[in-house]
Amino acid sequence: MQTITENNVARMMEQRQGHQSNMTEFKRLSPPSFEGSIKPLVVEKWLIEMVKAFRVLRCAEEENVAFYEKFFPTSAPLQKEREFIKLEQGNIIVSQYKAEFARLARFAPTLVADEDNKARRFEERLRPRIKTQVMASELTIYRAVVNKAVLIERGLNETQANMENRQKKKPRPTGPHSGHSSGG
C-alpha cells in the first residue's frame, strides 16, 4: 500500500515539475496577451499565436481543441462562413481578393471541398470584365484560375494606362477657344 502511495506522490511530483517547466517554457515564448476583444478576427489571431506556442510545448491536440472551443465562440465561424458566401472581388485587386478568399474559405469547407468547386467559387465572384475572360479558359484548378485572373487584370490595367497616355498626348486645339490670348 505504501509503495502505491509513494508511486502516486512521485507521479504527482513529476507532473508538477512537468507543469512548472511547461509554464516556464510557455512564459519564455512570450505569448500574446488577450485583451478581451469581441472581434472574431482579433480573437482568432490571438488563438493562432497561442496554438503556435502549444506546438512548441507539444501540447496534445485535445488540449488545443478544448482551448479553441473555450475562447472562440461558435457564432464566429458561422459569421465568417456568411462573409465567404457574400465575398466578391469588388474594387480590390485580384491578389487581395485571393488573400481574403483563402482566409475565409476555411470557414466554408463544403463550398470549396475540391479543386473544381474552389476554382468555380473564386471565378464566379471576380469582377465581370475579368470573370468573362477567365471563364472562357475553362480552367478547373484553383491556382490556374487565380493566375489567369491576375494576368487578365494586368492586361486590362496596361490597356487602361495606354489609353490614358494616348489621351494625354493628343494635341490640344489652338485658336481663340484654347485659352491663349492672340496678342494685343
Whose CA is closest to 29, among 74, 68, 59? 59
Interval 117-168: pLDDT, tens: 999 999 999 999 999 999 999 999 999 999 999 999 999 999 999 998 888 8
Q: Which three cell numbers stand for residue 23?
A: 509554464
Q: Which three cell numbers stand for residue 134?
A: 477567365
What single-letter amino acid sits at 55?
R
Please state the pTM of the whole predicted model. 0.57
Q: Which three cell numbers stand for residue 168?
A: 494625354
CB contact set of 142 (below 8 Å; sequence gap of 6+): 115, 118, 119, 122
171: phi then psi, degrees, rounded to nearest 5: -65, 140
Confidence at 173, pLDDT banded by 50, 70, 90: low
